Amino acid sequence: MSLPAVPLPTFVAVPLIAAFALPLFGKRGKSAATFLANAVTIFLLCCAVASIGRTAVYEIGRWPIPLGINLVLDGLSCLMLLAISTVSAAAMLFSTRYMERYTAKSKYLCLFMLMVAGMNGVVLSGDIFNMFVFLEIASLASYALVAFGCEHEELEAAFKYMVLGSIASTFVLFGVGLVYGNTGTLNMAYISKAISESGLNSGLTFALALFIAGFGLKAAIVPFHAWLPDAHPSAPAPISAMLSGVIIKALGIYAMSRIVFNVFGITVEVGWLLMILGILSMIIGAFMAIGQWDLKRLMAYSSISQIGYVVLGIGFGGLLIAKGAKAQWSALAILGGLFHLVNHSVYKSLLFLTSGSVEMSTGTRDMKQLGGLAEKMPVTRAAATIGSAAIAGVPPFSGFWSKLILVIAAVGSGFYWVAAIIVFVSLCTLIMYLKVQRYVFLGELPEALRETKEQKNSMLIAMVFLACLCVLMGLLLVPPLRSSVLEPAVRVITDGVSYSTNVIEMVRESVKL
C-alpha cells in the first residue's frame, strides 16, 4: 500500500489560501466558512499522516539551491507537522461552537489559518530567512488572536506578548544578518557546510547567542518566560490550546534545535546551557503553578515546566553527543525530549480545551468559585482526568513513558541528580493537577452552579479525540510506529551537521530523477 506523495508546498499553500478565502464568506456564510476551515485542518492532518517516513526536498520556483529557497521534509519536520495538524484539527473542531460567543468569527478563522500556515512553513523551511518570515506570520497571527476578546486583560496580555515577541524576532533577524555576513549564504545546508569547514568565529558565536535568546523568548524558557502566563490564559480556549500545544514548540523548540544541532553543530557549552535552562524552567514553572487559583493560569505555568522537560531532554542529549558519550544514551535522551514534546502538545491542548468547556458552562475560571462539577459535566471531567494523569506521568498514559525514557537516559549516563529532579518535578505536577481535580470537579457544588450543563457535539468530539490520543500515545514506542515516526526525528538531531550533506545529496538525487 503506498499513499500518493503530498507535494510539500501544500502544507503552507492550502491554509494560506484558506486564510484569505474565509473572510469573503462574511456574516451570512458563517457556517459554510466554519465547515471549510474544519475541512482544511482535517485535510492537513491526512497530509501529515501520509508523509510519515518520507524525506523530500522541494525547490520553490525550480531555482536550484543555494540560489533559491527550498522546503525540506525530514523526520523532525514530519513529527512537528503531525503534532501541529493534530492539535489544530482538534482546536478547530472545538472552536466551531466555542467561538460563537464572539462576533467576527470569520476573522478568527482567517487568523487561525494564518497561524497554521506560518507554523507549517517554519517546520518545513530549509532557508534561514524564509524561516524568519514564516515565524513572523505565525507570531503576528498569534498576537492578534490573544487580543481577540478586546477586553482589559486580553489587550494587556497581548501588548506584553507582542513587545517580547517583537524583540525576539529582531534578535533572530540580527542573527540571520550575522550568519549571512559570515558565510555568504542563507540556505541552512550550505551555512552548515560553511561553518563546519571554517569553524566558529566571534561573529557566528554572537549569532548563535542571539538565536538562542530569540527562540528562547518564543519558547518561554525560564529567564524569558514572563509573557506566557499572561498571554496563554487571556486567549480564547482553543487558541490557548494552540499556543501552549504547538506555537511555543514550532517557533521555539523546533527552530532552536534545528539551528543549534543542524546548522551550528552542538558543543559542550551549548549542551550545558540548554540543560540548565531546561531544569530552571521545570522547577520554577512547577512552583509557580502550584500557587495559582486561576485554572488557565495554572495550566500556563505548567506549560513552562513541561517545556523545560523538552529542552532538558534535547540539551542533555546534545551534551552527551558533544562529550562523545555512548550513542545509545544520547539518542535515548533526545527520544525522550521529542516524545515528551509530542505528548505535551496533545495533553496540554486537551487540558486547555477542558478548561474552556468549564469556563463556557460556568462563566468563571477561578477555582475558588468552582467545585463539584464531576456529576454535571461527566465527559469534560473524564477528559480532564485523563489529561491530568497523562501530564503527571501516571503509568499507562503517554506522559509516563516520555518521562521514564528521560529518567533511564539520565541514570544510564550517570547523571543521577538529573533523574532525581525529573522525578521531583513530576511529583509537583501531580500535586497541581490533584488541586485542579479537587477544586473544580470534586467537593461541594456551589449554589450558583446548580444549573450547569455539559457542552455538546463538536466540543465533546474534540476533547474525546485528544483524550483517546493521550491513552494511545504510548503505542508510539512500539517498534513499527517507533521506527517510522520517532526514530527518524531523533536521527535528524543526532546526525547534527551532516544535515547539510543529507540535503545536498537529496537534491542531487531529485535532479537525477
Question: Quick one: which H or E segment has residue 72?
Answer: strand 70-73
Minimum distance, C-beta of residue 147 to other proteins, in the bound complex (Å): 6
Judged by CB under 8 A, which stretch of 70-78, 82-90, 173-181, 411-419 contacts other proteins?
173-181
Judged by CB under 8 A, which stretch of 152-160, 387-395, 400-408, 487-495 contacts other proteins?
152-160
Judged by CB under 8 A, which stretch of 47-55, 155-163, 191-199, 322-330 contacts other proteins?
155-163
Rounded Cα distance, 139 and 166, in Å: 9
Rounded Cα distance, 383 and 357, in Å: 11
Task: Tell me the DSSP string of 429-485.
Answer: HHHHHHHHIIIIISSPPPGGGTT-----HHHHHHHHHHHHHHHHGGGGGSHHHIIII
Residue 435 in contact with other proteins, rule: CB under 8 A = no
Whether the CB-CB separation of 258 and 190 falls below 8 Å is answered with no
Q: What end-to-end distance do the CA atoms of the chain give, in Å?
A: 22
Residue from 17, 104, 153, 472 touching other proteins (CB under 8 A): that is 153
Residue 151 in contact with other proteins, rule: CB under 8 A = yes
- Based on the number of CB atoms within 10 Å of its own CB, is 327 exposed (0-12), middle (13-18) or buried (19 or more)? exposed
* Cell numbers placing 493: 538531531
Which residue, 85 or 240, has its beta carbon nearer to other proteins?
A: 240
* Cell numbers placing 291: 500557587
Instruction: Tell me, by CB under 8 A, how many residues bind other proteins.
Output: 37
Contact letters for other proteins, residues 183-222 (x by CB under 8 A): ---x------------------------------------
Residue 174 in contact with other proteins, rule: CB under 8 A = yes
Residue 419 in contact with other proteins, rule: CB under 8 A = no
Residue of 351, 367, 349, 387 whose CA lies nearest to 438 = 367
Task: Tell me the DSSP string of 228-296.
Answer: HHHHHHHS-HHHHHHIIIIIIIIIIIIHHHIIIIIII---HHHHHHHHHHHHHHHHHHHHHHHT--BHH
Minimum distance, C-beta of residue 137 to other proteins, in the bound complex (Å): 8
Residue 118 in contact with other proteins, rule: CB under 8 A = no
Residue from 121, 229, 265, 393 touching other proteins (CB under 8 A): that is 229
* Cell numbers placing 382: 473524564
Judged by CB under 8 A, which stretch of 162-170, 238-246, 347-355, 414-422 contacts other proteins?
162-170
Longest dimension (CA), the chain: 73
Binding residues among 350-409 for other proteins as defined by CB under 8 A: none
Residue from 292, 345, 357, 429 touching other proteins (CB under 8 A): that is 292
Minimum distance, C-beta of residue 127 to other proteins, in the bound complex (Å): 11
Give the binding site for other proteins (CB under 8 A). Answer: 129, 133, 136, 140, 143-144, 147, 150-153, 155-159, 162-163, 166-167, 169-170, 173-174, 176-177, 180-181, 186, 229-230, 234, 288, 291-292, 294, 297
